[in-house]
């Protein structure tokens, strides 16, 4: 690991000033960053440790019916907050399907959003990677790429964003609160992560010094609590990143879908909101035919980036199944194997 | 630049001067305190051999900078028993052959202790496997590990019942 200077700011303003310098990086739990630093993938000159800042570790119910999650709340504490899990069950299920219990205890909300891709060529410093070293090329393009992107990729980068948490969050219109050199601002989570295009090294809308201080769910997000699921296919049952995942949330009134939310994980460089699919589910009965139409719409623009054409069909099936599970109703308890299609409580038909 | 930190390790308060901020909790425990029960397996947060409790919660000590944990309360495998008296989870691992080579065992036991205090698995073997998935055992002693955790959990439930009765 390269040598670095360690800074522990006392306030958010101090943190922003310290992190705005070239070569600086924020340190929260470090569950991803330290791994990257040990591998020489990330080589910051200065770590700005935000873990001792006050006021960033709270879950606040807002007067308008929304919720504000401090950036330093751990993944485990959020998932196990009974009121949060009841109001946003797909978010809790996604959190519990990610990483291991040890990592969830440490990893933070802000860090989860900003974790880096797990593309093996990004991690292997002997490989060419446009994300790690702009303009060097992409060895994933002709490499082992069965898990890579099928949506939104470019010839320069076919990496995926690995977060589970972000998938239901983006479906529920989450908002990211950012403290920067010019004060506080907020953006939709959907606008935080960038697609690669010609600049895969620029992964987010954040500017130097920008610190995510909170994630907010608007009042409407609570309206999907009765019909919300996260479903995740992975290469092993637990402690694995998604090959494909989907968050499905429905608001059902009088036997019809009043509003649908759908997002996919593991398919693109960002959590992928499927708005075209949501549109076809408005004011229709929650039937398998409708869900299949939605799945088709969600993947209309998908194309393989390598040996991963199977992910397109897999994603369609996961969408149908996630919607079917959501329509059946949020289970009273999160399944023993969170988000697993093999969970004994699934009760879903095979699409 | 030197940094001073203090930690409580297995009940004893310790002061450290770090001349390098790169030191992880794992390396601090092993190299500075010679508490070598906590194992360095992958050193990248994938195997769980380095699991310890920090402020009562299980984490991977290989991915935690010591300097960032100033003031933390740490429990390692060396601190779970009382003298010669084994912790119930340790005794259950012996009773159920929850190991072969033993390298992952301290991490497995710390993870099991952490899991039991999280109260997320109860006596459901499927939940135990899920909640222990961050601890790899390359000997494949998983069946014994699950049995040991089930047994320890049953013992804890029983003693809790006795206490509340």
Q: B83 exposed, middle or buried (CB, 10 Å; 0-12, 13-18, 19+)? A: exposed
Neighboring chain A residues of B133 at a CB cutoff of 8 Å: 100-101, 237-239
Which residue, A249, A303, A297, is CA-closest to A275?
A297
In a domain, A255, yes or no: yes
Q: Are B7 and B41 in the same domain?
A: yes
Q: Are B74 and B93 in the same domain?
A: no
> Which CATH number belongs to the domain containing residue A271 in this structure?
3.30.390.50
Q: Are B95 and B132 in the same domain?
A: yes
In a domain, A106, yes or no: no
Test A29 with B63 for CB contact under 8 angstroms: yes
How open is the CA angle A240-B132-A229, to the nearest 5 degrees? 50
> Which CATH number belongs to the domain containing residue B41 in this structure?
3.10.20.30
Q: Which of B56, B79, B102 is the last residue of a domain?
A: B79
pLDDT at residue A46, rounded to an integer: 98
> Which CATH number belongs to the domain containing residue B130 in this structure?
1.10.150.120
User: Is the alpha carbon torsion for A110, A111, A117, A122 positive or negative?
Assistant: positive
Q: How close A342 comes to chain B (CA, Å)?
A: 12
Query: How many angstroms from the chain centroid is the CA of residue A146?
Result: 20
Q: How many domains does chain A have?
A: 2
* Least CB–CB distance from A239: residue in B3, B24, B134: B134
Strand locations in chain B, DSSP E? Answer: 3-9, 12-18, 51-54, 57-60, 73-75
Which two tokens mark A344? 């004994």
Find out whether A62 and A214 touch, Cβ atoms under 8 Å: no
Length of chain B: 165
User: Looking only at Cα atoms, what is the longest distance across chain B?
Assistant: 57
Which two tokens mark B75? 């429990």
Q: Please give the residue range of the domain that contains residue B157.
A: 88-164
DSSP H stretches of helix in A142-287: 166-171, 275-280
In a domain, A146, yes or no: no
The complex scores an ipTM of 0.97
Q: Which of B23, B51, B79 is the last residue of a domain?
A: B79
In a domain, A258, yes or no: yes
* Least CB–CB distance from B58: residue in A27, A49, A101: A101
Q: Are B34 and B16 in the same domain?
A: yes
Q: Please give the residue range of the domain that contains residue A323.
A: 223-328
Test B3 with A47 for CB contact under 8 angstroms: no
- Backbone φ and ψ of A2, nearest 5°: -70, 150
pLDDT tens-digit profile of A105-141? 999 999 999 999 999 999 999 999 999 999 999 999 9
Q: Are B123 and B64 in the same domain?
A: no
Per DSSP, A207 falls in state: P
Contacts of residue A332, Cβ cutoff 8 Å, sequence gap at least 6: none
CA dihedral (A239, B21, A213, A226) in degrees, to 10, reads 20
Ramachandran quadrant class, B72 (left: phi over 0; alpha: psi -120 to 50; beta: rest): beta
Q: How close A103 comes to chain B (CA, Å)?
A: 6
Look at residue B4 and give its three-state secondary structure.
strand
Question: How far apart, in Å, do the first and last CA atoms of chain B sit?
Answer: 57
Q: Are B66 and B8 in the same domain?
A: yes
Pick from B6, B18, B22 the residue to mutate for testing the A interface (most A CBs within 10 Å). Answer: B22
DSSP H stretches of helix in B98-141: 105-118, 125-131
In a domain, A182, yes or no: no
Per DSSP, A229 falls in state: E
Q: A254 exposed, middle or buried (CB, 10 Å; 0-12, 13-18, 19+)? A: exposed
Which two tokens mark A257? 């879908």
Q: Are B106 and B153 in the same domain?
A: yes
Q: Are B35 and B102 in the same domain?
A: no
Q: Which residues of chain B have pLDDT under 50?
A: none
Strands A175-180 and A5-7: unpaired
pLDDT tens-digit profile of A283-336? 999 999 999 999 999 999 999 999 999 999 999 999 999 999 999 999 999 999
> Which CATH number belongs to the domain containing residue A33 in this structure?
3.30.43.10
Query: What is the Cβ-side half-sphere exposure of residue A7, based on CA atoms within 13 angstroms?
Result: 22
Structural element, H or E, at residue A295:
helix A288-298
In order of A146, A270, A309, the CA distances from A304 in angstroms are: 9, 16, 5
Find out whether A140 and A256 touch, Cβ atoms under 8 Å: no
Q: Which residues of chain A have pLDDT under 70?
A: 343-351
Find out whether A248 and A90 touch, Cβ atoms under 8 Å: yes
Q: Are B120 and B60 in the same domain?
A: no
Per DSSP, A206 falls in state: P
B130 in A contact zone (CB under 8 Å): yes
Q: Are B50 and B102 in the same domain?
A: no
* Least CB–CB distance from B59: residue in A38, A52, A105: A105
Q: How many domains does chain B have?
A: 2
Rg, chain A, Cα only: 20
Nearest CA in chain A to B21: A6
Q: Which of B79, B103, B131 is the last residue of a domain?
A: B79
- Backbone φ and ψ of A124, nearest 5°: -95, 105
Nearest CA in chain B to A104: B59
Q: Are B68 and B102 in the same domain?
A: no
In a domain, A179, yes or no: no
Contacts of residue A79, Cβ cutoff 8 Å, sequence gap at least 6: A85, A91, A92, A95, A96, A104
Q: Are B60 and B96 in the same domain?
A: no
pLDDT at residue A344, rounded to an integer: 60
pLDDT at residue B122, rounded to an integer: 87
């Amino acid at each position: 690991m390269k040598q670095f200077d360690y800074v522990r700011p006392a306030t958010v303003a101090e943190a922003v000033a310290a992190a705005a310098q070239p070569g600086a990086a924020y340190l929260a739990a470090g569950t991803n960053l330290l791994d990257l630093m040990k591998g020489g993938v990330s080589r910051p000159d200065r770590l700005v440790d935000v873990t001792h800042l006050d006021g960033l570790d709270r879950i606040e119910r807002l007067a308008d019916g929304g919720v504000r999650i401090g950036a330093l709340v751990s993944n485990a504490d959020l998932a196990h907050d009974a009121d949060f899990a009841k109001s946003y069950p797909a978010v809790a299920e996604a959190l519990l399907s990610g990483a291991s219990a040890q990592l969830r205890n440490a990893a933070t909300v802000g860090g989860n959003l900003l974790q880096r891709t797990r593309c093996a060529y990004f991690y292997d410093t002997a490989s060419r990677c446009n994300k790690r070293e702009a303009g060097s090329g992409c060895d994933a393009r002709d490499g082992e790429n069965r898990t890579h992107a099928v949506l939104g990729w470019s010839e320069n980068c076919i990496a995926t964003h690995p977060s589970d948490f972000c998938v239901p969050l983006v479906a529920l219109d989450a908002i990211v609160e950012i403290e920067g050199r010019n004060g506080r601002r907020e953006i939709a989570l959907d606008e935080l992560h960038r697609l690669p295009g010609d600049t895969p090294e620029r992964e987010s809308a954040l500017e130097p010094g920008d610190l995510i201080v909170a994630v907010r769910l608007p009042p409407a997000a609570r309206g999907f609590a009765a019909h919300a699921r996260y479903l995740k296919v992975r290469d092993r049952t637990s402690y694995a990143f998604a090959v494909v995942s989907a968050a499905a949330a429905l608001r059902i009134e009088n036997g019809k879908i009043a509003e649908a939310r759908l997002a996919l994980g593991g398919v693109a460089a960002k959590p992928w909101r499927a708005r075209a699919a949501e549109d076809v589910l408005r004011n229709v009965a929650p039937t398998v035919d409708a869900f299949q139409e939605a799945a088709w719409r969600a993947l209309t623009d998908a194309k393989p980036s390598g040996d991963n054409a199977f992910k397109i069909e897999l994603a369609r099936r996961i969408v149908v199944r996630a919607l079917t599970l959501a329509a059946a109703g949020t289970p009273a308890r999160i399944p023993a194997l969170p988000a697993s299609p093999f969970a004994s409580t699934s009760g879903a038909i095979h699409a | 630049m030197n940094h001073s930190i203090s930690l409580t390790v297995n009940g004893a308060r310790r002061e450290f001067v770090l001349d390098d901020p790169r030191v992880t909790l794992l390396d601090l425990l092993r190299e500075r305190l010679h508490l070598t029960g906590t194992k360095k397996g992958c050193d990248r947060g994938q195997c769980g051999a380095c699991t310890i409790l920090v402020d009562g919660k299980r984490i991977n000590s290989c991915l935690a900078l010591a300097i960032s944990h100033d003031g933390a309360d740490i429990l390692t495998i060396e601190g779970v028993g009382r003298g010669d008296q084994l912790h119930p989870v340790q005794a259950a691992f012996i009773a159920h052959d929850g190991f072969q080579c033993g390298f992952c065992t301290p991490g497995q036991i710390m993870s099991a202790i952490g899991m039991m205090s999280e109260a997320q698995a109860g006596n459901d073997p499927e939940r135990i496997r899920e909640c222990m998935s961050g601890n790899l055992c390359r000997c494949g002693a998983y069946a014994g590990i699950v049995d040991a955790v089930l047994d320890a959990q049953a013992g804890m439930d029983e003693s809790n019942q006795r206490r509340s009765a």
